[in-house]
Chain A
Amino acid sequence: MQGFIQQVLNALQVGSVYALIALGYTMVYGIIRLINFAHGDIFMVSTYVAFFVGTALASYLLGLSGLLLFVLTLIASMFATSLLAVLIERFAYKPLRYAPRVSAVITALGVGLFLENFTLATIGPDPRFLPRFFTVQTYTVGGVAFSNIQMIIIVVSALVMLVLDTVVRRTMVGMAMRAVSWDKFTAPLMGVPVDRIISITFAIGASIAAVGGCLYGMVYTIDPYMGIRIGWWAFISAVVGGIGNIRGAMLGGYILGFVEIFTPVILPASSYRDFVAFSILLMLLIFRPYGILGRPVAQKV
């Protein structure tokens, strides 16, 4: 039983990161119907920004409290990553907004590969560690061990998602996003600044990925190709929940977290987890392509 709760906590921790990244996929798809295959790599870039900024701050501003250091790093990473995402949208996707959808998807794949290989060429393949913002403390309650880091990841992610959900449902920006998503041809006639809303969506998606990146970096090493695997898992999360659906992405993220943690428990080796995740994806696409919370769209003749 304790073992099980332990695993659930691990699944929530992993799932939180997937959910945060899945949100970026889903928001962009929701608004311009583009599978932004570069998003996993935007997440990767966010961890590198955190690495450089965090390391620099830690060495120049000795004695800064861990919390402050973390917050500054996080803000820098969110800012830089959103800027990158907005630039990518402006220069790679926007010219293709009214082109066949396939062109934009291929472009996204290309941008993702570009980010990976560019990082590889400039920074190198070696894994790196983010500076330690917090000293790890482990607590044991009723035989279940958990760390402060784990709690930070789970709680911060949940908060971010709560805020995002509120923003999309309650604010003008959220309303405008939904308007553009509904009909990008009519929305401008209603006074919705489509370009700006799309940029904002990319920026929000990227900064949430940056939150995920900073949280992830507190636990794992980072490398130029990390965005592929994590990006894919997050993407599957988004599809499982119903791509274009924000709550679906969160749900999907946690589901994939459980898949990742519990696959080795059930199957002989953890190397099967990709197989399981992609098989789920394949089955889902065949039988329920619009995901758990999504709705089917009919085609007009």
Chain B
Amino acid sequence: MKERRSVVDNALRPVRALYVAAVRPIQEAYNALPASVRRWTMPAVLLLGFLLSLAAPSLINLYWQQVLIYVGINIILAASLNLINGYMGEFSVGHAGFMAVGAYVASIMTVWVFPRMGLKEAVPYLFPLALTIGGLAAGLTGLVVAIPSFRTRGDYLAIVTLAWNMIVKSVLENLDVVGGPRGFMGMQKLTNLPWVFVWVVVTIYLLRNLIYSNLGRGILSIREDEIASSLVSVDTRRVKIVAFVISSFFAGVAGGLFAHIIQFIDPRTFSILKSTDVLVMVYLGGIGSLGGSILGASIYTILMELLRPLQVWRWVVGPLLLVLLMIFRPRGIMGLREWGFLIPKEERPAFVDALREQVRQKREPAAVPAGASE
């Protein structure tokens, strides 16, 4: 086991060295900047990103815009699944089920509900609302998995999520109002790069906020040791509900974005194959890491595009990659590590060190026994 890991690590060493060599100077130069400047870096980068996404049509061709849109949607899917599989350590294999709910509900909103309310002209502006409603519907169905998870875990919970995926697909196939197996269409092409950019930023921001809260730590503690967690007062039921509902909310949003770019959805789109794709992204990028999900989704989506000439053989790559990952690098590229800029300031080691000094200043010297002080 160990030996095999080190083979991979050795192979990756040059890549890492290159990365460090390229990034370290930038990092150092950046850290040398005054704090008042650094404060504005993030907003500036985000603004720049947004402007670029607006300008995309005149910068890159339609095909690559499309690819970037899929990258964005997949980042949302991977990050939200990571909340369950990476941060909470449960094993969901039915993410596409939630995605389907969001896709169908959001599509119904833009195709039927809004136009019938006489808001046909306003549909493009109501798109975020449609996505949110789709997300909420998906989040609600997240309870279907959250509630069994109180008692069932591990393999069995994996089967529950899988059964859920299959049930959604089967219900959609039998639901003639939304086209049954023929699928549902009529959506406008509302998903574009700026929207996707905004939703990715919102998703990552909100997930980050959750993870670095005591609720989020509750999620982590379930991964580490569920019983110990309930024995230090964590209400594991509440935590599981929060995690599953939020995870499926974002899966639903991703589904809505997806439906409004391909403009046609059918039950087969949301099969277990789709769920497996998301799994590959999560485990490739790294469990318990938002940066990992961004990385995993980007690499996998672009890789699959580059492999398009291979035709059917392309579909052999994903599963093979998944197996190799599990054997050689089960925690993925970034496993349990995070990019610094995704960590809130007050959670960084430097802040914690400062806090310690502050606490020590305040403390009046107490009678600490020999054993309690170093």
Contact = CB atoms under 8 A, between A and B. Distances in A.
Nearest to B157: A285
B330 A103 contact: yes
A239 B320 CA distance: 27
Given A114-B319, A285-B152, A285-B156, A109 B164 contact: no
Contact of B156 (A114, A289, A299): A289
B155 A121 contact: no
B39 interface: no
Given A282-B160, A286-B152, A99 B4 contact: no
Contacts of A33: 155
A286 B4 CA distance: 39
B56 interface: no
A107 B327 contact: yes
A269 interface: yes
B174 A271 contact: yes
Nearest to A299: B227
B166 A120 contact: no
Contacts of A239: 159
B183 to A, nearest CB: 15
A272 B174 contact: yes
A35 B326 contact: no
Interface string A99-111: 1111111110111
A113 interface: yes
Interface stretch (B308-316, B352-360, B365-373): B308-316
A248 to B, nearest CB: 15
Contacts of A281: 159, 163
Q: Which of A101, A106, A285 neighbours the largest number of chain B CB atoms within 10 Å of its CB? A: A106
Contacts of B276: 109-110, 113
Q: Is the interface of A mostly helix, strand, loop or mixed?
A: helix
B300 to A, nearest CB: 13
Contacts, number: 121
Nearest to A104: B326
Interface residues of B, number: 45
Nearest to B167: A278
B167 A121 contact: no
A60 interface: no
A301 B174 CA distance: 46
Nearest to B271: A228
A95 interface: yes
B69 to A, nearest CB: 25
A100 B155 CA distance: 11
A279 B313 contact: no
Contacts of A103: 326, 330
A110 B330 contact: no
Contacts of A120: 312, 315
Contacts of A285: 148, 152, 156, 159-160, 163
B49 interface: no
B1 interface: yes
Interface in A272-301: 272, 274-275, 278-279, 281-282, 285-286, 289, 299, 301
A228 B322 CA distance: 18
B158 A92 contact: no
A35 B170 contact: no
Interface string B242-282: 00000000000000000000000000000011001001000
Contacts of B51: none
A118 interface: yes
Given A35-B155, A101-B155, A285-B152, A106 B322 contact: yes
A104 B91 CA distance: 12
A285 B159 CA distance: 8
B170 A272 contact: yes
B93 interface: yes
A55 interface: no
A87 interface: no
A96 interface: yes
Contacts of A279: 163, 167
Interface string A109-135: 111111001101100000000000000
B93 A109 contact: yes
Contacts of B160: 282, 285-286
A102 B148 contact: no
A114 B152 contact: no
Contacts of A104: 326
B68 to A, nearest CB: 26
A59 to B, nearest CB: 28
B312 A117 contact: yes
Contact of B322 (A107, A271, A275, A289): A107
B326 A118 contact: no
Contact of B164 (A121, A271, A272, A282): A282
A216 B309 CA distance: 36
Given A275-B174, A278-B167, A117 B159 contact: no
Nearest to B169: A274
B318 interface: yes
A289 to B, nearest CB: 5
Given A102-B91, A106-B326, 13 more contacts: A35-B158, A99-B330, A103-B326, A106-B91, A107-B327, A109-B93, A109-B322, A110-B322, A113-B276, A114-B320, A117-B312, A269-B174, A275-B174
Which 7 pairs across A and B sit closest by C-beta, in order of nearness?
Answer: A110-B322, A113-B319, A114-B319, A117-B315, A275-B170, A110-B323, A274-B170
24 contacts: A35-B158, A92-B323, A99-B330, A101-B154, A102-B85, A104-B326, A106-B91, A110-B322, A111-B319, A112-B319, A114-B319, A117-B315, A118-B316, A239-B159, A271-B173, A271-B174, A274-B167, A274-B169, A278-B166, A282-B164, A285-B159, A286-B151, A289-B152, A299-B227
